């Protein structure tokens, strides 16, 4: 089995390496380019549609390897293939024609509904950490919860796609974390899909890391976000209630950035739908770090979240899980206030710590 997974990874990587330059020329030919503006970091017109290279490499490698395997869940895999095709199409059209947010959201909802209802991809049981064998069957509620999760994660990744190699690299780290957890749990389906996706992303990242030659565009950001959401559901379809924190931790960078963006707009009393230049990567750049260093720092944060996810997956004591989560939340808040991702002036926790420290030294 190991050699098959290795073959899948290498096949996806090579296809992405070969295909990305062709997709770059195609993007320029059809006019799918990204012009610089006041919110963007790049200063020259860049081809988009890089997500097509990732997607085609994934599909090609999947159809090369999947006929050889007979113990993976085909229904679950097809949920990613079919739903992924829809979000890639929507993203590609947006890369070229700049679709409205409502149209893009509709496409994401259609993909999520097909994955959830058409292929029965949903979280259907919550095991409570209290008493013996206590559980809640979510039944119809699981459909709404899973659709919300898929659409939410899909959009979360799209928000951090603001620097060369950022979204692709963070996705690769999250998928690598899922791969590690899938190996530990023996989840063949997630191992297969994660291996192929990882190869596709790394092959594309060769052309996307700073200085980028092509952007993944919405076609890539939406597909990778959708893939991360689907894989997390596949990996934690029936999870202990507290263990839902594991997929949250794996996707810590895009989800926390989205959360802080919502809080920031509420604090500043601006519409949630209005874009700004205060996301995680913007804040780190404003501290004086270079483009490349900013991306590497966010990679390190993603690795940290991945490590926390693995640690939580191995924690059996409820009190230890709660302690780890509590420490993680405090670290997140302090970090957010330090870089000013919520507000440049309102920093209550840091203010409290400074005041407490000053009093202790007196």
Q: Which residues are annotated as a binding site?
A: 158, 218
Q: Extract the annotated binding site for Mg(2+).
A: 158, 218
Tokens of 36: 């610089």
* Calculated CA dihedral for residues 165, 169, 171, 172, nearest 10 degrees: 140
Radius of gyration for the alpha carbons in the chain, expressed in angstroms and rounded: 21
Assess contact for 179 and 190: CB atoms under 8 A: yes
Q: Report long-range pairs for 59-68 (Cβ below 8 Å, ≥24 apart).
A: 60/11, 60/12, 60/15, 61/8, 61/11, 61/12, 61/15, 61/196, 61/199, 61/200, 62/8, 62/192, 62/193, 62/196, 64/8, 64/11, 65/4, 65/7, 65/8, 65/11, 65/192, 65/196, 66/192, 68/4
* Calculated CA dihedral for residues 259, 299, 181, 309, nearest 10 degrees: -50
Q: In what order do the strands lie in the sheet with 238-240?
A: 135-137, 125-127, 238-240
Assess contact for 213 and 24: CB atoms under 8 A: yes
C-alpha–C-alpha distance, residues 141 and 225, integer Å: 22
Q: Tell me the Ramachandran region of residue 8: left when phi exceeds 0, alpha when psi lies from -120 to 50, beta otherwise.
A: alpha
Q: Which residues, including other chains, have CB under 8 Å from residue 161's CB and lie 6 or more apart?
A: 167, 215, 216, 220, 221
Tokens of 220: 């890539």
DSSP state, residue 344? S
Whole-Å CA distances, 71 to 30, 143, 159, 227, 300: 41, 26, 36, 21, 35
C-alpha–C-alpha distance, residues 271 and 101, integer Å: 14
């Amino acid at each position: 089995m190991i050699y098959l997974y290795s073959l899948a990874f290498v096949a996806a990587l090579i296809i992405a390496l070969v295909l990305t330059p062709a997709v770059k020329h195609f993007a320029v030919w059809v006019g799918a380019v990204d012009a610089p503006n006041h919110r963007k970091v790049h200063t020259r017109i860049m081809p988009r549609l890089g997500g097509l290279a990732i997607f085609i490499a994934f599909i090609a490698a999947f159809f090369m390897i999947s006929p050889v395997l007979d113990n993976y869940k085909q229904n679950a895999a097809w949920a990613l293939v079919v739903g992924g095709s829809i979000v890639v199409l929507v993203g590609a059209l947006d890369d070229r024609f700049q679709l409205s947010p409502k149209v893009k959201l509709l496409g994401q909802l259609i993909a999520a509904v097909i994955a959830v209802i058409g292929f029965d991809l949903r979280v259907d049981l919550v095991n409570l950490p209290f008493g013996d064998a206590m559980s809640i069957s979510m039944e119809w509620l699981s459909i709404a919860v899973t659709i919300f999760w898929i659409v939410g994660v899909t959009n979360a990744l799209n928000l951090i796609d603001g620097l060369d190699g950022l979204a692709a690299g963070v996705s690769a780290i999250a998928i690598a974390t899922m791969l590690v957890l899938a190996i530990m749990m023996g989840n063949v389906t997630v191992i297969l899909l994660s291996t192929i996706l990882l190869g596709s992303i790394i092959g594309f990242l060769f052309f996307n890391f700073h200085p980028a030659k092509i952007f993944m565009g919405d076609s890539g950001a939406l597909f990778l976000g959708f893939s991360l959401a689907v894989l997390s559901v596949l990996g934690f379809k029936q999870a202990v209630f507290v263990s839902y924190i594991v997929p949250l931790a794996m996707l810590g960078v895009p989800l926390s950035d989205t959360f802080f963006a919502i809080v920031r707009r509420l604090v500043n009393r601006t519409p949630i739908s209005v874009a700004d230049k205060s996301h995680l990567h913007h804040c780190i750049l404003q501290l004086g770090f270079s483009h490349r260093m900013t991306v590497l720092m966010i990679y390190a944060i993603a690795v940290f979240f991945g490590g926390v996810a693995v640690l939580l997956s191995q924690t059996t004591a409820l009190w230890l899980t709660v302690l780890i989560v509590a420490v993680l939340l405090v670290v997140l808040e302090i970090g957010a206030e330090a870089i000013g991702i919520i507000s440049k002036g309102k920093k209550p926790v840091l203010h409290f710590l400074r005041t407490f420290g000053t009093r202790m030294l007196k």
